Structure 1
Amino acid sequence: MLKLLELKDEFRLVPLETFDHLNEDKYLKAQDKFRFRAYSTGNLVNSILKWKEENSSFLQSKELNNYMGDVVRHFNQLPPRSKKYINIVIRSLFDSSTIPKANYEIGCHQIRIIATDKFNGYPAPEGFHRDGFDYIAIHCAQLNNVNGAISLVRSLDNKEKLYEHILLPSQIMVLNDNKVEHYITPITPKIPNKKAYRDIFVITFNKKEIFL
């Protein structure tokens, strides 16, 4: 239901500078803009990932996401360097058997969550949730001056038992989205008067037998 993988040599290639240029997430309800985001999709066939060239829309049902469900959201594509890096990450997930090899529809969100002394950052404003895919891989790229950001995971069959983990840079948490739901606690600055931010990639995997 949950696996952790730590990248080693591969993590040296993470394109940290690309997070500095993400566009503001215009779909937040809060007055304080704490999330910056890019999103791309692709098809993974016989372990070869082909990214779609057009900007991709993202839609979740209200049942899955009571915060922004039934809203078609549009984001700019991942930067080219991020796409190349995600290819490496997916290959590592397969090589380590963290995710079973298959053909998948892939989605990748590149996200920066920020916080200041004036407002918190909310990685999951919708609360505990599923994302509606077969597998979710949450990969931490960078933590800067962050308090909080505790990943909480619970089984759909036993919601009283919580797994807690602070996802560190280079680590990937893989969830079977059909069996668990997850949440990440808000972030606040560890040192006052200094901005806090958390940079992550969220990769979604949906099994696909045939691509038309």
Structure 2
Amino acid sequence: MQDVPKTRRVRVLVYLDLRSLEMVASFSPPYTDPGALTQQLKEGGFAALTPEAVAALAGVELQALHALDGSWDALVLDPYLKDGGRYRQRRHSCFVVAPDSISQVPHRAHWQSLDYNALHGGMHRWFEPIQPQVVGQPAFQLLMGAIAAQCSAQRPDVPEWFVEAHQFRIDTTDGIGRPTPEGAHRDGVDYVAVLLLGRHGIKGGETRVFEANGPRGLRFTLTEPWSLMLLDDARMIHESTPIQPLDDVGYRDTLVLTYRAGGFQGEA
């Protein structure tokens, strides 16, 4: 075998070392004071809240949100992953949220254009609906309505929000799990709320948020159950890095709520 020049060997070793460091680095979320949430979202394009602030925003005890946790054990394997992976389970339901009402719409497919999801866009993906006992929990509806109110504070011209709710579990069955296999992206909606439910036996899963038309970006790791990242989808691009197991198979649970004015994606 031809000998590799020493300088080249050094460069390779440094590169691998930096990759290893990146996998274990963890930066704390830039939590926003709840009273400054509206202003932070307007000026910065995104905001992060502690679990206690999320519960206060919804007007419930934190324990009421934790009462939903067990439903993530009943998610269903995502059959649409184009990379052939088995690492994603999910459920999906849709709602129309107005200031004084929340209505679940008949079960419908999740659809995104190729402009927003180059990997899975352009096709109707039918997922199992979120279980009725979850949708019927006051905490679930109050949380969905409270985030809608924050969206309305940014866009008071919008009379109602078309909301898609996604329960996700990303695991390391394949050795690695990809929360965002499509890479850094926008969702094609107006606002996106990502709530971390829990991390179990994993490393990675770092959140990265970038300005869509600017140089500013942040990286941090949501670790506290029921912490929140809320972002303006028109202004910000986001992704979550892959997860790896610390020992045996691990997983990361999230609830993603997307808010769109004028209708669901795929509607005329």
The two structures share one fold, judged by TM-score above 0.5: yes
Query: Residues 92 and 167 of structure 2 are in contact (CA less than 8 Å); yes or no, is this contact kept in structure 1?
Result: yes
Distance 1:98 1:51 in 2: 19
Task: Give matches, 1:97-136, under 5 Å.
Answer: 97=150, 100=153, 102=158, 103-116=160-173, 118-136=174-192
Query: Residues 3 and 98 of structure 1 are in contact (CA less than 8 Å); yes or no, is this contact kept in structure 2?
Result: no
Give the drift of 1:11.
Answer: 3.2
Q: What code does the residue aligned with 1:162 have?
A: G
The correspondence for 1:143, drawn from 199, 204, 219, is: 199
Helix, strand or coil at the partner of 2:186: coil
Give the drift of 1:165.
Answer: 1.5
Helix, strand or coil at the partner of 1:73: coil
Distance 1:172 1:89 in 2: 11
Distance 2:193 2:95 in 1: 15
Runs (5+) with no aligned partner, structure 2: 1-44, 56-60, 264-268
The answer to whether residue 129 in structure 2 is matched with residue 77 in structure 1 is yes
Correspondence for 1:3: 47
The correspondence for 1:165, drawn from 196, 214, 220, is: 220
Runs (5+) with no aligned partner, structure 1: none
Distance 2:203 2:102 in 1: 35
Q: Using a 3 Å threshold, how does the CA distance of structure 1 residues 145 and 47 change in structure 2: closer, same or farther?
A: farther
Correspondence for 2:141: 87
The answer to whether residue 98 in structure 2 is matched with residue 42 in structure 1 is no
**Structure 1 segments of 4+ aligned residues over 6 angstroms from their partners:** none
Q: Using a 3 Å threshold, how does the CA distance of structure 1 residues 99 and 3 change in structure 2: closer, same or farther?
A: farther
Helix, strand or coil at the partner of 2:216: strand
Helix, strand or coil at the partner of 2:63: helix
Distance 1:161 1:115 in 2: 31
With normalisation by structure 2, the TM-score equals 0.70
Identical pairs, percent? 26
Q: What code does the residue aligned with 1:42 have?
A: F
Q: What code does the residue aligned with 1:198 have?
A: R
> How much is the aligned-residue C-alpha RMSD, in angstroms?
2.0
Distance 1:149 1:207 in 2: 29
Distance 2:260 2:100 in 1: 14
Higher relative contact order (CA 8 A, sep 6+): 1
Q: What code does the residue aligned with 2:222 have?
A: L
Paired residues in the alignment total 203
Helix, strand or coil at the partner of 1:90: helix
Q: Using a 3 Å threshold, how does the CA distance of structure 1 residues 157 and 200 change in structure 2: closer, same or farther?
A: same
Query: Residues 55 and 75 of structure 1 are in contact (CA less than 8 Å); yes or no, is this contact kept in structure 2?
Result: no
With normalisation by structure 1, the TM-score equals 0.88
Query: Residues 207 and 220 of structure 2 are in contact (CA less than 8 Å); yes or no, is this contact kept in structure 1?
Result: yes
Helix, strand or coil at the partner of 1:86: helix
Deviating more after overlay: 149-158 vs 200-209:
200-209
Query: Residues 98 and 174 of structure 1 are in contact (CA less than 8 Å); yes or no, is this contact kept in structure 2?
Result: no
Give the drift of 1:98.
Answer: 7.0
Query: Residues 72 and 253 of structure 2 are in contact (CA less than 8 Å); yes or no, is this contact kept in structure 1?
Result: yes
Helix, strand or coil at the partner of 2:113: coil
Render the CA deviation track for 1:115-162: whole Å, top value 9, x for unaligned. 14x52000000001000011000011111112001000000112x432
Q: Using a 3 Å threshold, how does the CA distance of structure 1 residues 11 and 61 change in structure 2: closer, same or farther?
A: same
Correspondence for 1:65: 117
Higher share in strand: 1
Give the drift of 1:206.
Answer: 1.0
Q: What code does the residue aligned with 1:107 have?
A: E
